[in-house]
Structure 1
Amino acid sequence: MLLLVQLCWAQEPTEALTWFKKGLTLIDKEQNYDDGIKALDSAAALHPEKELLIQIKYAKGVALNSQGNLSKAVAVLEENIPLIETCDDTTKIKFHANNYRVLGDVYKGKGKSLLAMKNYQKALSFSEKYSARSKATVLHQIGVLLMEKRNYLEAEKYFHQTTDQYLNEHLQLGKYINLGEVYLETDRNTQAKQQYDKAEKLALKNKNNMALCHIYIGYANIFFEANNYKKAIEYYEKTIELSEEIGAQFLTTSSLLYLAIAYNKTKQAFKALPYLDQAAVFLNKEPSVNYQLSLYDTYASVYENMGNYEKSIIYLKKVNAFKDSVFNIEKNKQFEELKIAYETKEKQQEIEFLKLQKKKNELEISQKEKALKALNLEKELEASQHQNTILQLQKDRSENENKIILLKKSRELAEAEASKSQQLKNAYLIGFIVFSIPLGILLIVYYQKLKTQRALAKKQEELNAKQILTLKKEQELKSIRASIEGQEKERKRIAQELHDAVGGSLAGIKLQLDHLSSKEPKLLSIVHHLDETYNQVRHISHDLLLEKIENDEFVQLVKNYLKKIATSTHINIDISFFNETLINEVSNVIQTNLYKILQELINNTIKHAEASSIEIQLNAHADMINLLFEDNGRGFVYDQNKNGIGLRNINERVNSLGGTTTIDSQHNHGMLVNIIIPIKKTAA
């Protein structure tokens, strides 16, 4: 139930802790969710310490999920995330691993598979750092999600990764039952029975009647497929007895219908009627489209075998009427979709004209911008030359000023010497010794002044030389940057022109020739050559963008690309990244292939899916890159051996990197693509 709650008990019991333990007991052991949640709310109202409050909210989220109150469970568990972020690293890893896992369970219960997978991926990244037991639990839940999406083979891989030694008995039981269903759905009945046998031992040991119901239905289905209806009937009756005891209504209804079908198969139609009547009572309380159709169809078959053709016809009419009501709903929906598609097509023609006009204007603006940049560059060069001339004049002026100062000093000294000489004549009687002392002092001062002036002049020359050298280098760098930016923009413009203008024109010509080729077989060869030319243009335009992958951060490059797609279409694109640093550090080979895979997926959605929104998640872990791509378009029936060129190219790219591709799509239910590429294997 509460599955891996890590309790950190305080040294001395507190009132909040007491209420918390009481809530766990009511929820875990007694399955009394209402009173258990009230006890947890009482514990939270006492303002416990941070770690205990996190565990209280986590336990409440688990209880609300088990109770079926999914929206409240999401709210409580998401409230916990910012609180967990304030903990130290070790505690944060432990709590995030459990909190994100249960949040994934809740979204799985709400039928939001992409959100469920996102939270499971986050839980897996924290569980890898936390414990092998926690990691096994998350892998098991991902397997359950894939099984519910009918991706049985991929689900089987995840179940086999969950080693029994890291699972508690409750999860081991779930794993055996799920593997049994996987084997049953993939026609491996012997292996299915082996898994149900292991599950039965654990269920009997733990007195888990709900699990036993699923196990007995599994046994019954195995015998039913083998035409051993007697044994199948025996297990269906066991299931009904147990499911009624624990109040599992849908399990009871399902078993009653299967039991009636089994009796009808054994030519005991009269025994089937009471079970059908009981199933009808349950379905009146809790309607289900699939069970209702099965009920009417089985009634018709039973009455036909009993020779009561009037009642058989009545129930056949009910089956048709029920199918018609479902069909009419779908038909009205399709009519609205066709109407919207027609109106959209008319508007699309106007939009295409405006796009062509916009491209023409953009081309004119681009040419003007290039001319303006060239003019600005010439002005910058002239300004730089002018600045160099000014600096040279300033240097010459400084040197002349220094010479003038020296001459002034020399003249002043000469005047001083003349004055001293006159004074010397006047003071000759004072004595030679008295005269020689100030003269010596004067000579020393003069020598020091000359020395100081020379040093200053030398330093000024060196400073001027360094400034000139710095200005030259800055000018060279500006010129190099301008050249590189010009080359990059020119490369981008050529790639865009090839892809949008030339590629668009070739696509338009091809569409026109496609209509004519059915009337004129000779045009088929021209259409074929036109396809090859269009593909070559696309490859050239893509290759021109590879240098941006080498020079720019990959995450930002993807964001810019998707932003451009979003602004040029009516599709809402939502993308999120996990561990951006690692994504930017993977090899150029992986980044290039991921970029082209993303382009192929976006192109397929725009051209074929008629989608209004796309959700993308790019996650990086220690040993793999995971790309999740989902749209809400019209979908398709996916066949791995019969798919289009686009999907085949994606599979080939992923296989070349040693990765795996999982595609889940059905008519009118969109498309989900899950791509996993190993990092270490590719690097090796």
Structure 2
Amino acid sequence: MNKRALLIMWMLMIIFSGLAQNPGTFVGYGTLPVKTPDSLLQQLKHAGNIKEKMRAAQPLLAFHASHGTTDSVIFYAQQLIAEANENPDKATLYNMLAKAYQDKGLYEEALRFYLEGIRITETLGDTASFNDNKLGIANVYFARNEYNKAITAYNELLATTLDEQIKHIVYRQLSQIHLERKELVKAQEYAAKALTFFHQSGQLKNELQAKLTLGIIAELNQHADTAFTIYNEVINIAQQRQFFDVYINAGQRLGDLLIAKQDYENARGLLTMVYANAMQWNDMKAQLKVLNSLRNLHAAMGDYKNAYALMTQLMGISREVQDKQNKREINELEIKYQTAQKEKEILNKENELSQQKTIKYSLLIGFLAILLPVIGLLYMYYQKLQAQSKLNATMEEMNQQKITALLKDKELELLKASVTGQEKERKRIAGELHDSIGGNLAAIKLQLSNLGVKALIKQVDETYHQVRDLSHDLVPQKFNNTGFTELIAGYLRQFDLPGNARISFQAYPPEEIERIETTLKVEIYKIMQELITNAQKHSQASKVEIQLTQFDGMLKLLFEDNGKGFATETTRQGIGLQNIRERLKLFDGVLSIDSFPSKGTVIDIEIPLKYEA
């Protein structure tokens, strides 16, 4: 049985125990609460050709889209797309499929189908569908935290569309962007506009989403009671009307609010049920949010073991989402779309100068007919020189790398032996100074006191203190006299200033952490200093979480920030990370980095422990 199955069983046990202790407080779904109406399935079953099937599928897809059951939307839409060939209605299927992938958090897949939809609708001159797909692309930019690109796309829609529905969806999205940027006045203004329109037009789901935004604004404005009321209202209505995606978002926000109120039991019951529902619907985007809330809950309760387990699960799902996104294909489609837009602008200008260019092209073609054979010969000779040069450079580089690797291995062995020898020698000298010489001086002082020779006593006393100070300098006292976790916490408190990232630190179990050898404590302390410095300089993070855990004979250091992140496969690592890797080699430690643009960074360090006697 794998870890995820065990986690599901553990959460279901918590659900049932929570319901037994607090009957009627919260309601979760034990089975998938959506059954496709038989009438919709019968219509699709009895449809003849592809046009009839596509007409019959529209209400079926709309039903599942409104209830947030995105897997069903993807299933039926992909079946129809496979049969549709070049049918014009295929653009509608692309749009619905893109929205479903977007709801699941698979933004790259969503972008791929929005761009395909734009290509088809632009060819057909379907302005409404074209704008709908442009709205979808803007929503993907927003979901990927590319706020400037999203705002530009939304403003273009507001400037070109006459559709009031699209305009107010844009207002709702702009309210959420300003909410993310903590621009609460603008966020509330846009959310209020959207709420009024959706309420008057009877669009309940959109109305609930706008209310949820206003609830978050109330929470950030320290109006916890108002936020609590709004979240409860949204949860109850969304549950009754089976708007599962809205239900999950509101449940997760209410769970965070209960954590802030230190109502841990109700927070755990609600968040566990919401996570179980998100797993039933295979909504990985929702799973990531709720798992993060559950992790924060267990950390607040002091249950660091389960907090660490939830963090591991969170990283696993995050990797699963990234693996499912075909980034290379999507980036190529996006570039093609943007290039096509630019080419249209250029084409309009080129038409004005076409007659003048015709004459120039004729002369140029004649000249090239003579020049091209000469260029071809020169190019072939140049390529041959380049190939030979690259071969020589490659061979030289390979030889240099072999030499460097050998030198580095030897240097590491010497450094490791030197550090070990120095540490032993410093301890031996400190012991000799403190025990032997210091003891002798103390005895001499006692004998001289009996003889009453004050001048000699003073000189011996000064010599004794010098020997004691020297022995203390040889062994770092701050790692012996001060608790290690307290030393780290004291260092981190100096960054608790306005404008800096908020840093939280947990060590578990603290008594085991204190037992690690002094040399390793010194290196862990320096590694934390390097990571904090990198986060302050480069990440633009507002929050940093550090966990130091001893588990199964391993010391685990988990460093996470919510900054701008980076592409690990293309970004060159700086001197700081290289220094950390060199330090870890002394202790057979390993470092792994999990980062993605706009998604923050997680650094995981593992070191096998060897306790001091």
- TM-score scaled by structure 2? 0.44
TM-score (normalised: structure 1): 0.40
Structure with larger Rg: 1
Q: Which protein has greater RCO, CA pairs closer than 8 Å, 6+ apart?
A: 2
Structure (1/2) with the larger helix percentage? 1
